[in-house]
Amino acid sequence: MNYRKYFLITLVVIGIDQASKLLVYHNMYIHQEINVLGSWFRLHYLLNPGMAFGIRWENEFGKLALTVFSIFVLMGLGYYLVSMIQKKAHAGFLVCLALILGGAIGNVIDSTFYGVYLNNAPLDAPTKWFHGQVIDMLYFPLFHFTWPEWVPLKGGEYFEFFSPVFNIADSSIFIGVVIILFSQRRFFKEELGDTTVETQVVQETVQVTFTTSNSMESDSQTPESEEQKPKASGE
């Protein structure tokens, strides 16, 4: 069995994710923005006190419980990847699992260690261990406008698409899940003689994935509008 190439994909995702977060941490300040491609792709430094995609548990020890639970889920996802490799599942499906695993591990590293090594745990955290905040930076505000006053319920409100700020780990999870969902016919059908059998593995995968990623949009942290955004020191 060729396990190496799939776990290598996982390691590459973790490496790129952690490198990008550390670069932002050492070279930007909170809420700083840098235009990368015009105004529609920016780096916007935010700290996410939740897990992947901003999932939170509002309790004194909620973050600790969520992080520890995620670690156990990651172990299950890793075992699932190994079992799918042994069963010779479709290579594309295995690549998607490797992407999801890498992204999930990337965010769990933040939550587990960043509170201690980057000292970014919330001030009210009972311990710095397992209370690190996830670093987000990718921001794609493609367009924005203010709803006309005559629009019911929304009149006068500011609207921006796409407002969530996320990171490489979130992107990896999202890409893996989307490819699986749109490639079911390719990934989960096996030809056995004259009979076509469609497996149910996609249901297990989606369930494990969303438990691990905690998605893309409950969500990542959303930067405040220019009128509302507090200015960080130095701005």
Q: What is the pLDDT of residues 159-203, one digit of tens each?
A: 888 889 999 999 999 999 999 999 988 998 754 343 444 445 555
Asked if residues 176 and 205 have their Cβ atoms less than 8 Å apart, the reply is no
The band of 59, judged by pLDDT with boundaries at 50, 70 and 90, is: low
Does 32 fall in a domain? yes
Domain limits for position 66: 4-213
Which token pair is 59? Answer: 């309790």
> pLDDT tens, 112-151?
999 999 999 988 888 899 989 999 999 999 888 899 989 8
The catalytic position among 17, 136, 194, 219 is 136
219 catalytic per annotation: no
pLDDT number for residue 188: 86
Does 171 fall in a domain? yes
The band of 206, judged by pLDDT with boundaries at 50, 70 and 90, is: low
Token pair 């190496």 is found at 4
Does 229 fall in a domain? no
Question: Is this structure's pTM higher than 0.85?
Answer: no
Does 31 fall in a domain? yes
The catalytic position among 110, 170, 194, 219 is 170
Asked if residues 117 and 129 have their Cβ atoms less than 8 Å apart, the reply is no
194 catalytic per annotation: no
Does 20 fall in a domain? yes
Domain count for the chain: 1
